[in-house]
Structure 1
Amino acid sequence: MSSTSTMAPTAPGSLGSDVPDTELLAYLDAMLRWKDRRRTELASLDEAALAVDDADDRAAITPDVTLSMTLWQAVSDRLALIQATWDSGRVGEQERRRITTLVWGSLEQPGTRGGQSLAVSLPEACRLSDSLASSLRSRLRLDGADPDLAGRLRSLRQQVERIADQVALIPGSRSGSAATAHRALDERLSDVTERAARGADVGGLLGPLESQAATIERDLIVAASARAHAKADHAQASREVAELAARGEAVRALALRARASVSPAPRLGIPDVAALGPVPGDPAGLTAYRERLERVERALTIAQGEYAAALTRLEDLTERAARVRRSLTEGGAGDPEPAILALADQTDGLLAARPTDLTRLEALVQAQESFATAMGGRS
């Protein structure tokens, strides 16, 4: 792994804003690249964490590895909805606004620290993932034997400035400990930078400093998210309605794609948050309303999973059929048996039809694989 981790791109617009198609496409392309690179990076980090000999060190690292993977999955799921809404660029103003709502709306990803929901937006989740990856690389000593000292100091300075921005968001009565932690970190970084400028060897000081900075930034992001999640007021509920409306439209687009592509397709109902009516203004009514919003969110999550799984099954069977077809043409074992060629032709015809009969397709693919295995054993 290189000493420089991939960093998430800057998200365009704001919640529900209209952003030009070109900016949305550039952001989506960059995010998909970030997602793939971060997945590769997390696999390396997980492998390195499992190889740590000291049980206490491994136990200290594992929660951050787990949180990193949870965040990656939350980002991946949200990107799938954005792609469904983007629909290969067939978007108008309404779809563009839904996309920025999906970008800046809460991921509501469960399973994080203490069982609490981590109500972060897509950009916040990416920034937290970047911070965790940086911390893990440092703690697992994956930055290489000849690190870029100036680059690491510059990255640390940028991180300390981001921490200052996070501290400024904390209400004054509760900002004391965070402000103290920021001052101490800033002083340590200034001291290390001055030592480096005088030619001192500061390599041994940077790792712990990077780890501390990443931990502080992570905790501040989580704390900021918790404060946002704790606000059960009219504005917050209205925002959740807008997010669920955009997500609902995206899941409906995913469902239409699945129903047009495969048979049998899931037939789950997709709730319409608009059916709940306007957000009530009284506290008691708002509490009950937010409980109904949670049920809508759970139903959308289940529906998204089912329709995505159906499309994934089609992709898997298509790839398996392609592998068998390649083995027939590239195997170098003479002319294929007419029977298996006939199966391959039936499979190709079935794949060309929409919706594709998944039950029949799976049977044909399994038959081809069995036939190819048997023929290979006889050759």
Structure 2
Amino acid sequence: MTGTMSGRVAAPSAPGRLGEAAPTQELAAYLAGLERWLTDRRAELDRLDTAAQGSSAGDSLTPDLVLALTMWQAIRTRTDELVAVWDAGRADAVAREKMSQLVWGRLDSGLGSALVSLVEAVTLCDAMIGQVRVRLAFDPSTADDVARLRELRAALVRCEDLAGVEAEPLAAVAALRERERRLVEQAARGADVGGPLAELEAATARAERDLIVQVSQRRTLVTGRAAARATLDALETREPTLHDLADRCRREVVRPPKLAVPDVSRLGPPPETRTELDAYVDRLGAVQRAFDAVADAYSAPLRERAELRYRLEQARAAADVNGRSASPTVRAGYEEARTAVEQTPCDVDQSRYLVEQYLYLTRDLPHPGPEGTRR
């Protein structure tokens, strides 16, 4: 749901999930909330930019502002794509499934190789804006260190949750937690901790931002590996069927295709890294296309043989009706065509010629008119 919190528009809750068509009403509410969020955050970024230009620390804030604006623009671009697919509410189930992909799929966040979903990009953008806002609001003479330390602890808790059980991120967060503990001890002795506190706030905000990106990348990798495994299992299930089809075609047809069925086992299991997984998915796609080509190549002559049998029997029934089957030539043509299509292995080209010849022999002949003319 979209709402306001301390005068700010809250980020909307995203509907649906990957691979499913999100409900129409939830998508409508999400798009409306996302537009309000974009308008509110752009206005806030403009205010922060103006404040930074008048601040003595403006130069140090510029990279963070540029990064936040870049993230905001990436969200704006993805929202425009969603609006286009939404088509003023005329999106069908296929279009709504595509919208779920746009919401939960990877988004070029403007952080180079860091790819996050739209939902995570919104959270990340808010974290960046919060970091800039904290740095601009810092005033050693008036800052409420107690309140800021409380917010700092909350940010550190979020970082610990994001780090999960990964040793390296947990160690980095533990180092930030130790710095926070020392600041509390210094503040308790009456020391001025304004400067170190501002530095720790900025470091914690950066750590939270980086952890959001890392978690997104891990989640995307896990999802990608699961999808690759499902595709691999489907290909392994399909491979024996294609071998059976190829063997049948070679037995029943003269001059069968000479395509080989790819060996899926040579692909191995899905790899662990993103770069290797992307290449692996490309290979899966190539095998899938090769399977389709094999299926089409080997099933085509078998389908044509079955169709020729059907056409031959239909033509024979028509010849019985129109009297053409009484002709010795027609009867001989039928026997020759039937022998060709029933023979195993079958010469499909020759059978096609003989069936066409029989169809010609059994065609309806023109009848003479009342005055002896043909009509």
Q: Determine the C-alpha separation between the residues in 2 that align with 1:25 and 1:70.
A: 25
Distance in structure 2 (CA, Å) of the matches to 1:25 and 1:154: 37
Label 1:286 to 1:149 Cα distance change in 2 as closer, same or farther (>3 A): closer
Q: Determine the structure 2 residue equivalent to 1:212.
A: 203
CA contact (8 A) 1:280 1:289 kept: no
**Residues 156, 32 of structure 1: CA spacing in aligned structure 2 closer, same or farther, 3 A cutoff?**
farther
Q: Give 1:27 shift.
A: 1.9
For residue 159 of structure 1, the aligned residue among 155, 162, 185 is 155
- 1:15 corresponds in structure 2 to 18
The one-letter amino acid paired with 1:183 is: A
CA displacement at 1:65 relative to structure 2: 1.4
Question: For residues 26 and 148 of structure 1, what CA distance do their matches in structure 2 show?
Answer: 38
Separation (CA, whole Å) in 2 of partners of 1:194 and 1:22: 52
Partner of 1:25: 28
User: What does 1:282-301 correspond to in 2, within 5 Å?
Assistant: 282=267, 287=279
Q: CA deviation at 1:163?
A: 1.1
Structure 1 CA distance for aligned equivalents of residues 139 and 266 of structure 2:
53
Task: Give the structure, 1 or 2, with the largest relative contact order (CA under 8 Å, sep 6 or more).
Answer: 1
- 1:164–1:33 CA distance, 2 compared to 1 (3 A): same
Partner of 2:99: 99
Q: Is the 8 A contact 2:138 2:198 kept in 1?
A: no
Q: CA deviation at 1:167?
A: 0.6
How has the CA–CA distance of structure 1 residues 147 and 237 changed in structure 2, closer, same or farther, with 3 Å as cutoff? farther
Aligned to 1:117: 113
Paired residues for 1:163-178 under 5 Å = 163-168=159-164, 170=166, 175-176=167-168, 178=169
Instruction: With the length of structure 1 as denominator, give the TM-score of the two structures.
Output: 0.50
SS in 1 for 2:114: coil
Alpha-carbon distance change, 204 to 233 in structure 1, aligned in 2, over 3 angstroms = closer
CA shift for structure 1 position 40:
0.9
For residue 218 of structure 1, what is the amino acid of its counterpart?
R
Which whole-Å CA distance do the structure 2 matches of 1:12 and 1:48 have between them?
36
1:67 maps to what in 2?
A: 67
- Distance in 1, matches of 2:99 and 2:163, equals 29
In 2, the alpha carbon distance for the partners of 1:104 and 1:280 equals 31
Structure 2 equivalent of residue 222 of structure 1: 213
| SS of match in other structure, 1:120 | strand
- What's the counterpart of residue 170 of structure 2? 179
In 1, distance between residues paired with 2:139 and 2:171?
29
Equivalent in 44, 47, 50 of residue 50 of structure 2: 47
Q: After superposition, what is the alpha-carbon deviation per residue over 1:179-231, rounded to whole angstroms, capped at 9, x for unaligned?
A: 12322434555677899999999877754443222111012223345556788
Q: Quick one: which of 135, 138, 149 aligns to 1:139?
A: 135
Which of structures 1 and 2 has the bigger CA Rg? 2
| Partner residue, 1:80 | 80
Q: Percent identity?
A: 40
Aligned to 1:350: none
d(CA) in 1 for partners of 2:266 and 2:140? Answer: 57
Q: Secondary structure at 1:140's aligned position in 2? A: helix
- Once the two structures are TM-superposed, the CA of residue 35 in structure 1 deviates from its matched residue by 0.4
- Deviation (angstroms), 1:286: 5.9
TM score, norm. by length of structure 2: 0.51
User: Which runs of no fewer than 5 residues in structure 1 stay unpaired?
Assistant: 240-278, 294-379
Q: Is the 8 A contact 1:49 1:61 kept in 2?
A: yes
| Residue identity in the other structure for 2:130 | S
Larger mean CA deviation between 69-78 and 146-155 belongs to: 146-155
Give the aligned residue type for 2:70.
T
Comparing 227-236 with 78-87, which one deviates more in the overlay? 227-236
3-state SS in 1 of match to 2:75:
helix
Task: Tell me the distance in 2 between the aligned counterparts of 1:40 and 1:234.
Answer: 40
Which residue is 1:367 aligned to?
none
| Alignment: residue pair count | 241
Gap runs ≥5 in structure 2: 231-263, 269-275, 286-375
Deviation at 1:169, TM superposition (A): 6.1
Cα drift, residue 62 of structure 1: 2.2
CA contact (8 A) 1:156 1:210 kept: yes
User: 2 CA distance for matches of 1:27 and 1:144?
Assistant: 40
* Structure 1 contact 3–147 (Cα < 8 Å) conserved: no
Provide closer, same or farther for how the CA distance between residues 126 and 285 of structure 1 changes in structure 2, counting only shifts above 3 A.
closer
1:26 Cα offset (Å): 2.1
Closer, same or farther: CA 189–25 of 1 in aligned 2, 3 Å: farther
Letter in 2 for 1:141: A
Q: How far apart are 1:126 and its partner, in Å?
A: 0.9
1:84 CA displacement: 1.8
